[in-house]
Amino acid sequence: MNIACLGWGSLLWKPDPLPVSGEWHADGPWLPIEFSRIGDNGELATAVCLNAPAVQVFWALLAVDTLEQACEALRQREQIPQDRNDGVGVLIAQGSPVGPLAEWAQQRQIDAVIWTALPPRSANNEGLVPTIDDAIAYLRSLEGEKREHARNYLAQVPQQLDTPYRRAISQQLGWSG
């Protein structure tokens, strides 16, 4: 079974323990991704954000035998608790699914696609999409190691993920990314 994982954040430069087979490919599907999730380490992480314009994400095949193994590996990598049902997204592309993601997978002979499905998070509220002003104010409030970590996170996300929040952070805070 060919199982692909989609990526748009730290999975790209720090995938362990996710069993990525080969390299990350830059020709993934177009998805609405934004710097909209305050991460556990303080960074303003990328997440699927339905209010965002689509950007082309990355993908890699996984060295696993089953979809269950793939989902469990992503769950462990992202430190998603077992009792949380919304952390891993799955599309099975076998059969006759429809839609752009299914078409993208079928063109590449991918049987299933998984991705991190944690929602945006702001002000400790899961699912709350921060405004650009909220995101900038949050990043401005960071100090020391947390601020440096957040700046490094933004810098490591590939330029291909050019989003409105990224441009605003670069303009208003002077962070290159």
Chain segment 106-139, per-residue pLDDT in tens: 999 999 999 999 999 998 899 999 999 999 999 9
Pairing of strands 125-126, 121-122: antiparallel
What digits encode the pLDDT tens for the residues 153-163?
999 999 999 99
Cis peptide before 17 (omega within 30 of 0): yes
C-alpha 75/C-alpha 68 separation (Å) is: 10
Query: Taking all residues of the chain, what is their mean pLDDT, rounded to a whole number?
Result: 96
pLDDT beyond 90 at 94: no
